[in-house]
Amino acid sequence: MPVLMVFLGGMIGAPVRFLTDRFVQSRHDGVFPWGTFAINVSGAFILGAVGAGVAHHHLGANVSLLLGTGFCGGLTTFSTFSFETVRLMEDGSLAEAGLNVVGSLAFGLGAAALGFALVGWL
């Protein structure tokens, strides 16, 4: 059952990532990868919320695997973040590359903490 939960979550998360990235990126003209940024920050928020559900509200293991490991694992993407950052550096967009790294880390940690705090508070 655990493998099925991870599989189902990933099966939903991966297309959501693809569609969200295309939607967000189509609304921005610059070189900054807003789609991946938005996806990774959103995924951090969701994972923080799932973590609080486990820690404070006895969220079941199957739901945690479905949402945390499967959905968030399929949704978020460290490899695309890394590739896009390297591409920005190679194209000479060093400020954007630095903003992507620092911003992703800061906003991702903040979003995870916010998700954890909100669900823990409920």
Contacts by 78-83, CB closer than 8 A, 24 or more apart: 78/40, 80/33, 80/36, 81/33, 81/36, 81/37, 81/40
Query: What is the C-alpha R_g of the chain?
Result: 15
Residue 85 belongs to what domain range? 2-121
Q: What number of helices (H) and strands (E) belong to the chain?
A: 6, 0
Backbone angles phi, psi at 19, to 5 degrees: -70, -40
* Number of domains making up the chain: 1
| Residue 113: per-residue pLDDT | 98
Q: Extract the tokens encoding 28.
A: 């921005």
Q: How many CA atoms lie within 13 A of 80 on its CB side?
A: 18
Q: How many CA atoms lie within 13 A of 28 on its CB side?
A: 15
| Residue 86: per-residue pLDDT | 98
Q: Which residues contact 118 (CB under 8 A, 6 or more apart)?
A: 49, 52
CA pair distance 114, 70, nearest whole angstrom = 21
pLDDT (tens digit per residue) in 35-73? 999 999 999 999 999 999 999 999 999 999 999 999 999
pLDDT (tens digit per residue) in 83-92? 999 999 999 9
| Across 81-110, average pLDDT | 98
CA pair distance 38, 51, nearest whole angstrom = 20
